[in-house]
């Protein structure tokens, strides 16, 4: 990804020229590790889930500790219940305060879970959490790809508006020149020259607005890509029409259910909740663990002797005040919530598919109508211009035709943008956004 970014920006870096940016390059840059912010955050969530999985796995692995203690102590024996009274005839007594004396102890301790089904289930749930985070990352990548593709199409539309506005200015300039020449020849009037110049000024104003909107569209695209907002580039694509592959609603829904990463992530979260509920339920089962320690103990290093302890411990839960039952009820509720979310997401996906198909069909029809309207407007402008040059029509006729041509050009650009955005939305709804940005 980084290499593609360098190659895309090479002309700007080496020769000071704006880089050519394709849709695929824009998406690749956004999906790079240092690209869009959402991608960076999603990668961090994967790292967090893997760390939690490692913590859950630690409960099933040996726990090894080493310790060393060298202590100087004094003790009050009476505090331990040792009150030894000797007969006075013996001539001595046992003191109640002893010390100071030194003890040295160095040892290694190990514990190992032999059987704890609850911990096993928690580890399985944590692994499912990793898969869910990975699926969430894939979903974030699809969303970012769709966002960048939509903004790229909007930038193409802004560029098309600039080109259309420039064409309108060129046409207005030609008509203004024609009106001025007719006035000089004595076949035109001053009002026709003024009218043509007003139209030219209006078109120049629209050109300035279109250029500003193009700069804003470029900035929005750069922000979504996660690169420097000062980067200069030119779009290598064009806002055009490519018929979409015919697909039925059922085919699209089936494909979405099989490919949508957000659905996979939600299904994995449901599985995680089920495993967590199982782990809480199995806390009622006994657990078995082994333990051992070995070391040297004495009043100093010169008289330390080896000591050891080993054994097994069986833990049988009896009563904890109802905490386990409360946790089990809570985890069961969380599992039911995830099941509800999964069913709701399936309905939402079906809704997105049907809306996207309707929007695509409507946009396709709009493109056809806009294309016909543009052809008719171009014919009207050509005919009105010839009539005006021949002196059989006033300047109002080409001016009105020019206005309708500008509207037809805007209609076509809007229809093409709606069609391409609808294609992006349908591909995203089907989980196939990467296929249309290649």
pLDDT for residue 365: 93
The verdict on residue 105 lying in a domain is no
Instruction: Indicate the pairing of strand 287-298 with strand 305-315.
Output: antiparallel
The verdict on residue 334 lying in a domain is yes
CA count, 13 A, side-chain hemisphere, 159: 15
pLDDT for residue 14: 38
Strand ranges for 77-208 from DSSP E: 97-115
The verdict on residue 38 lying in a domain is yes
Give the burial string for 214-247 (b: 16+ CB within 10 Å, else e). beebbebbbebbbbeeeeebebebebebeebeee
Mapped onto helix, strand or coil, the DSSP state of residue 285 is coil
Mapped onto helix, strand or coil, the DSSP state of residue 360 is helix
164: β partners: none
Alpha helices per DSSP H over 231-322: 249-259, 261-281
Q: DSSP letter at 282?
A: G
The verdict on residue 198 lying in a domain is yes
Q: Cβ distance 335 to 270 under 8 Å? A: yes
Q: Give the tokens for residue 179.
A: 């009106």
Residue for token pair 């006994």: 286
Any idea how long the chain is?
438
106: β partners: 68, 296
pLDDT for residue 182: 82
pLDDT for residue 302: 81
CA distances from 377 to 178, 257, 372, 380, 403 (A): 20, 45, 9, 5, 9
pLDDT for residue 1: 43
The verdict on residue 231 lying in a domain is yes
> Distance between CA atoms of 429 and 419, rounded to whole angstroms?
15
- End-to-end CA gap in the chain: 14
> Distance between CA atoms of 397 and 403, rounded to whole angstroms?
10
DSSP string, 170-201: HHHHHHHHHHHHHHHHTSS-HHHHHHHHHHHH
What angle (nearest 5°) sits at the alpha carbon of residue 404, between those of residues 401 and 409? 125
pLDDT for residue 15: 42
> Distance between CA atoms of 408 and 370, rounded to whole angstroms?
7
Q: Give the tokens for residue 28.
A: 């690749």
pLDDT for residue 33: 84
pLDDT for residue 47: 92
Mapped onto helix, strand or coil, the DSSP state of residue 382 is helix
Instruction: Indicate the pairing of strand 63-76 with strand 287-298.
Output: unpaired
* CATH code for the domain of 133: 1.20.1600.10
The verdict on residue 211 lying in a domain is yes
pLDDT for residue 17: 60
The verdict on residue 104 lying in a domain is no
> Distance between CA atoms of 351 and 242, rounded to whole angstroms?
25
pLDDT for residue 6: 47
Q: Give the tokens for residue 96.
A: 């109640």
Q: What total of structural domains would you count in the chain?
A: 1
The verdict on residue 25 lying in a domain is yes
Mention every residue, 6+ apart, whose C-beta is less than 8 A from residue 186.
none
Q: What average pLDDT values come out for the chain (438 residues) when binned by 10 residues?
A: 48 56 90 87 91 90 91 85 76 79 89 87 89 90 92 94 93 88 82 88 94 94 89 86 87 93 92 90 88 88 87 88 87 93 95 94 94 92 85 81 91 94 93 82
Task: Give the domain range for residue 236.
Answer: 2-69+115-284+323-436
């Amino acid at each position: 990804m980084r290499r593609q970014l360098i190659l895309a920006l090479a002309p700007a870096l080496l020769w000071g020229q704006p880089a050519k940016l394709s849709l695929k390059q824009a998406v690749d840059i956004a999906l790079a590790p240092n690209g869009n912010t959402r991608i960076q955050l999603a990668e961090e969530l994967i790292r967090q889930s893997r760390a939690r999985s490692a913590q859950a796995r630690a409960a099933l692995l040996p726990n090894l500790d080493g310790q060393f203690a060298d202590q100087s102590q004094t003790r009050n024996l009476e505090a331990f219940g040792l009150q030894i009274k000797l007969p006075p005839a013996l001539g001595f007594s046992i003191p109640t305060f002893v010390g100071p004396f030194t003890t040295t102890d160095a040892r290694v301790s190990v514990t190992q879970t032999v059987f704890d089904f609850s911990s096993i289930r928690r580890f399985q749930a944590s692994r499912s959490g990793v898969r869910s985070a990975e699926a969430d990352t894939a979903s974030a990548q699809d969303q970012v790809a769709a966002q960048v593709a939509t903004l790229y199409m909007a930038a193409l539309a802004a560029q098309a508006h600039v080109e259309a506005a420039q064409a309108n200015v060129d046409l207005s300039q030609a008509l203004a020149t024609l009106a001025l020449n007719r006035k000089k020849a004595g076949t035109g009037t001053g009002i026709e020259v003024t009218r043509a110049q007003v139209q030219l000024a209006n078109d120049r104003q629209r050109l300035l607005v279109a250029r500003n909107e193009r700069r804003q569209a470029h900035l929005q695209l750069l922000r979504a890509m996660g690169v420097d907002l000062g980067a200069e580039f030119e779009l290598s694509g064009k806002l055009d029409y490519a018929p979409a592959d015919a697909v039925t609603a059922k085919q699209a829904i089936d494909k979405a259910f099989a490919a949508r990463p957000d659905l996979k992530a939600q299904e994995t979260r449901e599985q995680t909740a089920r495993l967590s509920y199982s782990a809480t339920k199995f806390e009622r089962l006994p657990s078995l663990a082994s333990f051992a320690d070995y070391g040297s103990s004495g009043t100093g290093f010169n008289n330390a002797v080896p000591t050891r302890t080993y054994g097994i411990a069986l833990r049988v839960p009896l009563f904890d005040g109802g905490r386990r039952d409360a946790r089990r009820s809570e985890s069961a509720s969380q599992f039911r919530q995830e099941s509800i979310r999964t069913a709701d997401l399936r309905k939402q996906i079906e809704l997105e598919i049907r809306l996207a198909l309707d929007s695509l069909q409507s946009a396709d029809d709009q493109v056809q109508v806009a294309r016909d309207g543009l052809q008719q407007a171009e014919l009207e402008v050509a005919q009105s211009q010839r009539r005006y040059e021949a002196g059989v029509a006033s300047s109002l006729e080409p001016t009105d035709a020019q206005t309708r041509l500008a509207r037809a050009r805007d209609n076509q650009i809007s229809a093409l943008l709606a069609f391409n955005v609808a294609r992006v939305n349908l591909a995203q709804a089907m989980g196939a956004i990467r296929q249309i940005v290649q």
